[in-house]
Amino acid sequence: MIAPHYVLGGKKMKEEEVVSTRL
C-alpha cells in the first residue's frame, strides 16, 4: 500500500526518494 504522501506529482516515489523530498 502506498500512502498519499508517497505519491507526488502523480509519480510513485520510493521511501528513499520520499525522505529526500521531505528534507
Provide the residue-wise pLDDT of the chain in tens; the chain has 23 residues. 555 555 565 566 566 666 666 65
pLDDT at position 21 is 61
Complete DSSP assignment for 1-23: ---GGGEETTEE--HHHHHHHH-
pLDDT recorded at residue 23: 58
CA 12 – CA 5 distance, rounded (Å) = 10
Give Cα 3 to chain centroid, integer Å: 8
Contact yes or no for 6/13 (Cβ under 8 A): yes
pLDDT given for residue 17 in this prediction: 67
Can you read off the three cell numbers belonging to residue 6? 508517497
